[in-house]
């Protein structure tokens, strides 16, 4: 049952081959059996899940089921869930039980989906390896000596190990796409504003976007249909109609133009990754797509620009974690200042502190123009590059990451080498366009992600282009043997 796609589960439920309670229990049993090996779940909400499943079965019996009614999934622990701990994998929020549901949580519940629990992540979504979690690292089901990617590493590992059929994640600089790449999944970062950020704990508000993890583009289309849409409670959420993502999957590739950004195809791209990307390009060519070279002349500035903008926004967003209103509070504070400083010193991990310090520095009076303002100007140039590229082509194709899953500790002492993990993904967040990662040809038995980038609000065609690729290839069907 755990190898079914979302569509197969939905059809099986509709035919009465199994109930949502049976399906849910099957996945809860798998979590019981395997979660300790990979540490993907930080909270399992078994009772709540079974209650939602019973409810879904009743809705179906009454003839009111939608395509997702009764299908299990899980949330990254960055989404507020009413009455359930919402930790962001930080000691700071370890005791925090959210008093309300995030918009995404609400929507998926309204679609009838069954939440199995909350998934591990890098602390406050800062990282590319899931090594910064307060609850310990997540392991990659393909090789448990390796990282699953980050920051949505728990989401990726749980779906890859088939502990859950699908999951939500968030992507500020690559955190859906890079773990999807490392774990052989399809993961989509929608256009900035496509999905409401209400109730999603903020890291860098102008970059954060929620999206789905699934085995295939088709799975992602099902999930995005539930997640996307206008929400008045997030002023940056776009008032754009939500197209029929599932119905749009069958668009042929003939005649579409796929651009290869020449700046991404330089000497730095390792030969093994290049081979996998070349194989993907051939699949598109064989299906009638035209492959052209394009240029993103300012893309090389993305990582430095991001590491000013993201820390600046995080230093501001995380100032609310002060020991007074949320989560961790130090013991016996002497006075208010002591309460603030000790609660924050104890509650945040090293990477989060590093980002807060960099951000506070970049925003300080003497440096604001030199760093933050400059970064915002460069960000505009990066966005303009994408706009120009999309005047020539329908999609851009690149690797998702410059490597396959690396070993634990490999980048531990060198934050910059960790930051470079996102070299192909970050420009997309700075511009706000949608992009997905899908499985390509493996290297030494490890998954490689192929990134497809689309124009603003073009998710339907982007998912269709990935779906057509997946009709022609089997890469996405492979799952780790140890969790078969
Ligand atoms: N790896 C990047 C960072 O550490 C991106 C994280 C994310 O997308 N949330 O900031």
Domain chopping of the chain, boundaries: 6-256+392-483
pLDDT at 455: 98
Q: Report pLDDT digits (tens) over 441-462.
A: 999 999 999 999 999 999 999 9
pLDDT at 326: 87
DSSP secondary structure letter of residue 141: T
For 10, 253, 399, 484, the CA distances from 246, given in Å and listed in that order, are 13, 16, 25, 27
pLDDT at 253: 86
Weakly modelled stretches of the chain, pLDDT under 50: none
Q: Is 129 exposed, middle or buried (0-12, 13-18, 19+ CB in 10 A)?
A: buried
Q: CA 88: distance to chain centroid?
A: 14
Q: Which residues contact 304 (CB under 8 A, 6 or more apart)?
A: 375
Q: Based on the residue annotation, tell me whether 175 is a catalytic residue of this protein.
A: yes
Say how many Å lie between the CA of residue 424 and the centre of ligand 1. Answer: 12
Ligand 1 atom nearest the C-alpha of 127 is: 4
CATH code matching the domain that covers 6-256+392-483, chosen among 3.90.1010.10, 3.10.180.10, 3.40.50.880, 3.90.1300.10: 3.90.1300.10
| CA 195/CA 215 separation, integer angstroms | 20
Nearest-CA residue for atom 5 of ligand 1? 173
Edge-to-edge strands, sheet with 72-76 = 41-44, 114-119, 72-76, 167-170, 210-214, 186-189, 435-439, 449-453, 395-399, 257-261, 290-294
| Percentage of the chain modeled with pLDDT above 70 | 100
CB neighbour burial string for 468-482, b if at least 16 within 10 angstroms, e if fewer: bbbeebebbeebbee
Per DSSP, the residues of 260-305 read: EEGGGSSTTS-HHHHHHHHHHHHHHHHTT-EEEEE--TTGGGHHHH
Say how many Å lie between the CA of residue 81 and the centre of ligand 1. Answer: 22
For 103, 340, 370, 395, 461, the CA distances from 222, given in Å and listed in that order, are 17, 44, 44, 21, 14
| CA 299/CA 37 separation, integer angstroms | 38
- Residue 16: CB atoms within 10 A of its CB come to 9
Q: Which residues contact 233 (CB under 8 A, 6 or more apart)?
A: 103, 196, 198
Q: Based on the residue annotation, tell me whether 411 is a catalytic residue of this protein.
A: no
Task: For ligand 1, say whether the CB of 169 is within 6 Å of any of its atoms.
Answer: no
Confirm if 310 and 207 have CB atoms less than 8 A apart: yes
Catalytic residue among 5, 90, 133, 175: 175
Task: For ligand 1, say whether the CB of 276 is within 6 Å of any of its atoms.
Answer: no
Using most ligand atoms within 8 A of CB, pick from 128, 304, 400 the residue to mutate for ligand 1.
Answer: 128
Catalytic residue among 10, 76, 87, 302: 76
Confirm if 213 and 167 have CB atoms less than 8 A apart: yes
Say how many Å lie between the CA of residue 30 and the centre of ligand 1. Answer: 29
Say how many Å lie between the CA of residue 422 and the centre of ligand 1. Answer: 8
Helices and strands (H and E) in the chain: how many? 15, 11
Q: Is 166 exposed, middle or buried (0-12, 13-18, 19+ CB in 10 A)?
A: buried
Ligand 1 atom nearest the C-alpha of 172 is: 8
Say how many Å lie between the CA of residue 171 and the centre of ligand 1. Answer: 7
């Amino acid at each position: 049952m755990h190898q079914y796609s979302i569509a197969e589960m939905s059809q099986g439920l509709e035919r009465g081959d199994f109930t949502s309670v049976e399906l849910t229990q099957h996945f809860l049993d798998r979590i019981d059996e395997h979660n300790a090996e990979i540490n993907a779940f930080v909270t399992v909400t078994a009772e709540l899940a079974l209650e939602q499943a019973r409810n879904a079965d009743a809705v179906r019996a009454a003839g009111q089921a939608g395509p997702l009614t009764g299908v299990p999934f899980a949330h990254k622990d960055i989404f507020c869930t009413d009455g359930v701990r919402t930790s962001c994998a930080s000691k700071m929020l370890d005791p925090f039980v959210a008093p309300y549901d995030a918009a995404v949580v609400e929507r998926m519940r309204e679609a009838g989906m069954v939440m199995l629990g909350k998934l591990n992540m890098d602390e406050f979504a800062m990282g590319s390896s899931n090594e910064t979690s307060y609850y310990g690292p997540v392991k990659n089901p393909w090789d448990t000596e390796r990282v699953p990617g980050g920051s949505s590493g728990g989401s990726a590992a749980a779906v890859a190990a088939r502990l859950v059929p699908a999951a939500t994640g968030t992507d500020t600089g690559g955190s859906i796409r890079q773990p999807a790449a490392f774990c052989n999944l399809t993961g989509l970062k929608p256009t900035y504003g496509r999905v409401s950020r209400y109730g999603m704990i903020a890291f860098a508000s102008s970059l954060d976007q929620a999206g789905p993890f699934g085995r295939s583009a088709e799975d992602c289309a099902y999930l995005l249909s539930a997640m996307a849409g206008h929400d008045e409670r997030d002023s940056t959420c776009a008032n754009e109609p939500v197209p029929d993502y599932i119905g749009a999957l069958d668009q042929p590739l003939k005649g579409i133009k796929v651009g290869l950004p020449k700046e991404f195809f330089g000497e730095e791209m390792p030969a093994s990754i290049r081979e996998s990307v070349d194989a993907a390009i051939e699949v598109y060519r064989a299906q009638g797509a035209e492959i052209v070279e394009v240029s993103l002349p300012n893309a090389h500035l993305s990582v430095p620009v991001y590491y000013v903008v993201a820390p600046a926004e995080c230093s501001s967003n995380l100032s609310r974690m002060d020991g007074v209103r949320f989560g961790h509070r130090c013991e016996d504070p002497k006075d208010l200042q002591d309460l603030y400083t000790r609660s924050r010193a104890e509650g945040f991990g090293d990477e989060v502190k590093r980002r807060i310090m960099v951000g506070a520095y970049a925003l300080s009076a003497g440096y604001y123009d030199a760093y933050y303002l400059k970064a915002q100007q460069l960000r505009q140039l990066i966005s303009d590059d994408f706009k120009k590229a999309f005047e020539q082509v329908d999609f851009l194709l690149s690797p998702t990451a410059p490597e396959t899953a690396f070993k634990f500790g490999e980048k531990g002492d060198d934050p910059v080498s960790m930051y470079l993990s996102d070299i192909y993904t970050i420009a997309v967040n700075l511009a706000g366009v949608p992009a997905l990662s899908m499985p390509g040809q493996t290297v030494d038995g490890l998954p490689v992600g192929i990134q497809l980038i689309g124009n603003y609000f073009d998710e339907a065609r982007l998912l269709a282009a990935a779906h057509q690729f997946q009709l022609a290839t089997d890469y996405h069907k492979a799952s780790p043997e140890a969790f078969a």
